[in-house]
Structure 1
Amino acid sequence: MTPRTAQTSAPVLEHIATRWSPRSFDGEHAIPEGALRGAFEAARWSASANNTQPWRFIVARRGSETFRKIEDTLVGFNRLWAGSAAAMVVNIAETHDADGAPRVWAEYDLGQAVAHLVMQAHSEGLHTHQMGGFDREAIRAAFELEDRFLPISIVAIGAIGSPEQLPEQLRERELAPRTRLPLEDLILLND
């Protein structure tokens, strides 16, 4: 397999350089009860505007009814590979408090929490792949979410599997070198 460690232009933490998003998950691997606790604890301690902590999660292990409901909402290529992950997590932003006051930073705060979750899972030997390709309204309906709860993304979690199990087009993407825009292209102004 192609090396997965990022070739960075400045030193970064090892877990950042080695984190990547596989599509090939080991369909036999099961996450033991309690094994994701550290990942969610990392998410819990993420920063948030006014300490509102507007993140909520639906956690499902492969084989459960909740997993099936989440899998049924996936679209496009995600339907081809995500079902072999050991778990899926729906990431939800609480966009309004219980009184209806808007939480304008909720999606940003959720993103930080999910980044913490992903990095902690990676540090514990698990792999993750974040997805936006799902039917948001189907998630809302399947789990009877209140209007203030907005599903933003889904994370597949598990142990890495063989790229050979993927359809050819996805296998090519799985084995392709990792790339990113140059750092200089991302910084608009640096005075």
Structure 2
Amino acid sequence: PFNKDWAQHASALVFLLSDTQIDGQNGEIRPAGTNSFDAGAAWAQAALQASTLGYHTHAMAGILKEDVHQALNVPSRFKVEIAFAIGKRGDVASLAEGLQARELPSPRKPLAEIAFNGTFGG
């Protein structure tokens, strides 16, 4: 319900899928090791391109991925990674009251909390 409340007004709703397999030579199929990483790179580029064209994007990981598989008849080898909405920014007043308050830049953690020298958790 949360994403639907505002994403229903987007110009486009895009589902980003990654192929979990690689088709090799002689019909050999092997697991793809970087499919989620590649999908993340694709999302970043799509968001940048949309911004360059004057659009806004919003990624949504909280989607019903199995429902997407079924509704769009997605083959099982593809992983539904995220959905993202693309559109022009609307009037904040048109959002539900609970969403209006969230229309602020999100706070960021200090770099010292997410980067460090040495071993993990250093």
TM-score range, shorter chain: 0.7 to 0.9
Higher strand fraction (1 or 2) = 2
Contact 1:131 1:155 (8 Å CA) reproduced? yes
Q: Say whether the 8 Å CA contact 1:97–1:148 is kept in structure 2.
A: no
The number of residues matched between the two structures is 115
Q: Does 1:86 align with 2:11?
A: yes
Quote the offset at 1:138 in angstroms: 0.7
Q: Secondary structure at the match of 1:101?
A: strand
Give the RMSD, CA atoms, in angstroms.
1.6
The answer for unaligned runs of 5 or more in structure 2 is none
SS in 2 for 1:129: strand
Match of 2:106 among 155, 173, 178: 178
SS at match of 1:89: strand
Counterpart of 2:20 (choices 87, 95, 117) is 95
State the AA in 1 paired with 2:6: W
Q: 1:84 is matched by which residue type in structure 2?
A: H
Query: Which SS does the other structure have where 2:59 is aligned?
Result: strand
The match for 2:50 is 121
CA–CA distance in structure 2, aligned partners of residues 79 and 166 of structure 1: 11
The partner residue of 1:150 within 75, 79, 88 is: 79
TM-score (norm 2): 0.87
Q: Could you say what secondary structure the match of 2:45 adopts?
A: helix
Q: Which of 111, 116, 120 in structure 2 is aligned with 1:188?
A: 116
Q: Which has the larger radius of gyration?
A: 2
Matched AA of 2:76: D
Q: Structure 1 vs Structure 2: percent identity of aligned residues?
A: 33
- Counterpart amino acid of residue 107 in structure 1: S
Structure 2 counterpart of 1:79, one-letter code? K
Distance across 2 between alignment mates of 1:97 and 1:147 = 14
Letter aligned with residue 11 of structure 2: A
Aligned partner letter, 1:81:
W
Matched residue SS, 1:111: helix
Deviations 1:65-107 (A, max 9, x none): xxxxxxxxxxx30111101000111000101124431101100
**TM-score, length-scaled by structure 1:** 0.57
1:1-191 alignment, distance < 5 Å: 76-98=1-23, 99-174=28-103, 176-189=104-117
Runs of 4+ in 1 over 2 A off after TM superposition: 97-100
> CA separation in 1, counterparts of 2:70 and 2:116?
41
Q: Note the alpha carbon deviations across 1:149-188, whole angstroms, 9 max, x for none.
A: 11110110010001111111110001x3431111221112
